[in-house]
Structure 1
Amino acid sequence: MSDAILQVTGLQKWFPINQGLLRRHVGDVKAVDGVTLGVGERETVGLVGESGCGKSTAGRTMLKLLEPTGGKIEFEGQDITSLNRKGMVMLRRQMQMIFQDPYNSLNPRHTVGTIVGAPYEIQGITPKGGVKRAVQEIMERVGLNPEHYNRYPNEFSGGQRQRIGIARAVVLRPKVIIADEPVSALDVSIQAQVVNLLEDIQDEFGLSYIVIAHDLSVVRHISDRVAVMYLGHLVELAPADDLYEKPLHPYTTALLSAVPVPDPDSAQRRERILLQGDLPSPSDPPSGCVFRTRCYKAQDRCATEVPLLRELEPGHTVACHFPESGGRTATQAESADVRTA
């Protein structure tokens, strides 16, 4: 993506497996293995996949909260892959993260004012009017009472704690925010409020988002493009509407078949695909296509040849040797190879 503000190319994050008294290296957990993805200015890219696919690790590695094993990370055209922690300090003003768990991501010993104001202290910035005033302004902007500046995280609800996390992430007006499951730990009644807050802040501050989630309905609502991950690999990338209406990868088709619809008897209803077998271990992924061991369309070629991401429709890329023809729905899948719920 030529106009991307944040671009990763061939991103890898492997965790070594060491055994024995001498901690001998015997293998690697390939959590992220060759992901290429970019996000443009004011764009929201959704990153989806089942638990264990590597999406959260990918997000943390993009921001260099985890050091990449391989690949390239570029921010505004600058290669930041090899920057050390000291070199990343200035870039932290421009790249922030909203964490999944609003209970564990906030220090219970610090007040809200200290938590939200910490980025100013770390960066050595004194905002006009002082830190307290700036923090209270951003608290009010995210829907918190500025008078609660001296309260502690345990005095707030889950939704309010996530708002504190959002305030901490946006207080320095960054350009890119990676939101890791920002609403999954919240009540359904609160999720829509937080998603709407993220959209409003994006419009106001001109932010770019990468939103990591497993709830496909939330991703569709907030995303311009959606990337699908499986076992550390990117298997499909498309504009949100195209991906939901015409999925080309069998894995995406299976994911979408599990999305509930308001009226089960309507024409929108898709027959549920239950993928066979367990998710393979990222320390010993299948040869060829990593999805082939659970795919209802797998053939001999899938075991020997790694499928490359290729553009089959404008802006719609897929890594599959035998993609769905025109995005067939699950009801059109081969009944002999698919068990229905």
Structure 2
Amino acid sequence: MSTTKNIPAQKAGESSVSSQNLLEVENLEVHFPIRQGIVFQRQVGAVRAVDGISFGVKPGESLGLVGESGCGKSTTGRAVTRLLEPTGGTVRFDGEDITHKKVASMRTARQNLQMIFQDPYSSLNPRHTVGTIIETPMKLNGINPEGGHKRRAQELLEIVGLNPEHYNRYPNEFSGGQRQRIGIARALALKPKLIVADEPVSALDVSIQAQVVNLLQDLQREFGLAFLFIAHDLAVVRHFSERVAVMYLGKIVEIADRETLYSRPQHPYTHALLSAVPEVDPDGASNRERIRLTGDVPSPINPPSGCRFRTRCWKAQDICASQEPPLVQLIGSADGHQAACHFPEVKQVVAAEVTPPAPASAE
């Protein structure tokens, strides 16, 4: 008897990107080659850091990208901003294909596509003053704001909650949270449409994290910014992002709006991540089941066949090893909730029969 009757119905062929998106990523791949030899080198493999992901970000929207360390989140952010060269796929920003644009022709796109880096200590040049750090992007792009570069830099310092008189100070005179505010001011200098925030609060104290996240929310409302917010802390992502995409081993396994994903996760991996989030209500925390994943994360050099999560999944069956589940919208989900799983976690989803190829010994 077939065990595939529990597989949910799916709307095949639906893409997670739309013509209304400011940022469109389709089948993005970033593979790092592994070479052997000293004089005559040959490629013997590749680290498949990002392996065919698709998503979109609308103007003014915040999309959170979450997952365990090493799943490809930061690599995705760097590929989107073209700090890394994509191996395959397409990146479109504001309707323009920027996947393989040369450095000189990327200048215009980068005015509208900026990045906030994870480490506020290494992302600021210690030999430059704060004013120089903020002014340089404007000068390189030929932008001459009214009142001059110094006045604009001081305005940006005030916008991010710093004293304009700090213009002549050096980064080593500031705390980690203050340095990250300087990085935010630098990102705002060119008046971007979208900011890729690569774990912008992970290196900060908890109390400072809240201040920086609230600052980013205020800036988003004031300037209509869109965000690709990369983080591993699901509590922070829930506070900041309107939609959330979950990554595992170079693949996106689930995308949904914030409330849907946190209340009704469909992929077992998402369920496991959410079970580890600290609960504010002590009674609720005691009643919640904690899911502990067994085994190690597989190597991105040689990922498992079929579903990449199957080696750690408590619901895995034979089909999970032979067929990779596509990221598609499930029937009964009107809010665009998508999951890449043969056996979603949520029981309310309408099930339909999907019959895989029968083995040779089947009657």
TM-score band by shorter chain is over 0.9
Deviations 1:163-196 (A, max 9, x none): 0000000111100100000111111111111111
Decide which of 271, 281, 289 is 2:307's aligned counterpart: 289
1:1-341 equivalences in 2 (<5 Å): 1-21=18-38, 22-266=40-284, 269-312=287-330, 313-314=333-334, 315-326=336-347
| 3-state DSSP of counterpart to 1:96 | strand
| 3-state DSSP of counterpart to 2:201 | coil
> Displacement of 1:19 after TM fit?
1.1
Deviations 1:129-150 (A, max 9, x none): 1000000001001001100101
Cα separation, 2, equivalents of 1:263 and 1:39: 33
Given that residues 31 and 47 in structure 2 are in contact (C-alpha distance below 8 angstroms), is that contact kept between their aligned partners in structure 1?
yes
Unaligned stretches of 5+ residues in structure 2: 1-17, 350-363
Cα separation, 2, equivalents of 1:325 and 1:94: 39
| 3-state DSSP of counterpart to 1:271 | coil
Matched-pair identity in %: 65
Cα separation, 2, equivalents of 1:327 and 1:116: 51
> Displacement of 1:20 after TM fit?
1.6
| 3-state DSSP of counterpart to 1:321 | coil
> Displacement of 1:327 after TM fit?
7.4
Given that residues 264 and 346 in structure 2 are in contact (C-alpha distance below 8 angstroms), is that contact kept between their aligned partners in structure 1?
no
Given that residues 134 and 189 in structure 2 are in contact (C-alpha distance below 8 angstroms), is that contact kept between their aligned partners in structure 1?
yes
| 3-state DSSP of counterpart to 1:31 | strand
| 3-state DSSP of counterpart to 1:266 | helix
Over 3 Å off, 4+ runs: none
| 3-state DSSP of counterpart to 2:274 | helix
CA RMSD of aligned residues (A): 1.2
Normalised TM-score (structure 1) = 0.94
Given that residues 91 and 99 in structure 2 are in contact (C-alpha distance below 8 angstroms), is that contact kept between their aligned partners in structure 1?
yes
**Highest relative contact order (Cα 8 Å, sep 6+), 1 or 2?**
2
Unaligned stretches of 5+ residues in structure 1: 329-341
Looking at CA atoms only, which structure, 1 or 2, has the larger radius of gyration?
2
Given that residues 261 and 269 in structure 1 are in contact (C-alpha distance below 8 angstroms), is that contact kept between their aligned partners in structure 2?
no
Distance 1:218 1:25, change over 3 A: same
Distance 1:85 1:269, change over 3 A: farther
Letter matched to residue 221 of structure 1 = H
> Displacement of 1:262 after TM fit?
1.8
Distance 1:307 1:199, change over 3 A: same
Cα separation, 1, equivalents of 2:50 and 2:277: 25
Letter matched to residue 6 of structure 1 = L
Deviations 1:113-159 (A, max 9, x none): 00011111110211111000000001001001100101000000010
> Displacement of 1:269 after TM fit?
4.3
Cα separation, 2, equivalents of 1:11 and 1:175: 21
Cα separation, 2, equivalents of 1:327 and 1:114: 56
Cα separation, 2, equivalents of 1:238 and 1:167: 30
Given that residues 33 and 43 in structure 2 are in contact (C-alpha distance below 8 angstroms), is that contact kept between their aligned partners in structure 1?
yes
Given that residues 179 and 209 in structure 1 are in contact (C-alpha distance below 8 angstroms), is that contact kept between their aligned partners in structure 2?
yes
2:4 is aligned to none
Normalised TM-score (structure 2) = 0.89
> Displacement of 1:268 after TM fit?
7.6
Cα separation, 2, equivalents of 1:327 and 1:219: 25
Deviations 1:59-106 (A, max 9, x none): 110111101000001111111112111110111100000000000100
Cα separation, 1, equivalents of 2:346 and 2:210: 34
Cα separation, 1, equivalents of 2:348 and 2:88: 33
| 3-state DSSP of counterpart to 2:23 | strand
> Displacement of 1:263 after TM fit?
2.9
